[in-house]
Amino acid sequence: MTLIQRIARVIGMPLRRRQEPSILMSGNPAYENYEVGRWTYGRPKVMVWNPENNLKIGNFCSIAADVCILLGGEHRTDFISTYPFGEFLRQDLGSRHEWSRGDINIGNDVWIGRGATICSGVTISDGAVIGAHALVTRDVGPYVVAAGNPAKEIRRRFDDETITKLLAIKWWDWSDDHIRAEADTLMSNDQKQFLDRNMGTWE
């Protein structure tokens, strides 16, 4: 409890709570220029220099604190110098280092660990997991666990057959009511039960 809170409590003065932005990205005005799916939460820092570069994030993604998404601003390593002279010594040259490899696409049910950095031009597929402090410079496949600098595949969450079925079922596109009904199975490691109960949704 802060000093101000203690004083307010003693004198009986109510304190107005500062309105915090929604933890759900779709309800946060900071991300209104990007395509963000339902129930995806987090407050990543998105760095963008060119409005033509797009960010798309699917449904039910979990994004931890201090995640940075770089839609551009990379320095040109093929130039003789990586220094942005046009920003300081020769403004007439303009900015030549606001370079981007393209849009960033993050699928559904993706978990991005604390402090990870996602570079431009990257696609992170459905069900993937990005380890804490990973630097993602290349695409990450479905249900792949990737970590490190640069991020590399550590393992896959499930076997190929299970992954294929999960990608076909696409539970993240179900209605909220359907997901509520299946939440107990979704939050378990009984893959067989989940697949057996939901085969009819994709076959």
| Calpha distance 1→123 (Å, rounded) | 43
pLDDT at 202: 47
pLDDT at 75: 81
Given a cut of 70, whether residue 15 has pLDDT beyond it is no
Please give the helix or strand (H or E) that residue 10 lies within, else none: helix 3-11
| Calpha distance 67→114 (Å, rounded) | 6
Residue type, 191: Q
Given a cut of 90, whether residue 105 has pLDDT beyond it is yes
3-state secondary structure of 74: strand
Given a cut of 50, whether residue 11 has pLDDT beyond it is no
Terminal Cα distance for the chain, rounded: 56
| Calpha distance 45→59 (Å, rounded) | 19
**Phi, psi for residue 53 in degrees, rounded to 5:** -80, 130
Task: Give the tokens for residue 161.
Answer: 């057959």
Task: Give the tokens for residue 71.
Answer: 């839609």
By annotation, the residues acting in catalysis are 75
Task: Give the tokens for residue 126.
Answer: 């459905």
Q: Dihedral through CA 176, CA 181, CA 182, CA 187, nearest 10?
A: 90
Q: What is the 3-state secondary structure (H, E, C) of 41-72?
A: ECCCEEECCCCCCCEEECCCCEECCCCEEECC
Look up the pTM and report it.
Answer: 0.82
* Cβ proximity of 117 and 68 under 8 Å: yes
Q: Which residue has the higher pLDDT, 77 or 107?
A: 107
* Cβ proximity of 134 and 116 under 8 Å: yes
- For the stretch 80-99, pLDDT in tens is 888 878 777 776 666 666 67
Local structure of residue 29 (DSSP, 8 states):
G
Spell out the domains of the chain, with CATH numbers in brackets: 15-157 (2.160.10.10), 158-203 (no CATH)
Given a cut of 80, whether residue 24 has pLDDT beyond it is yes
Given a cut of 80, whether residue 155 has pLDDT beyond it is yes
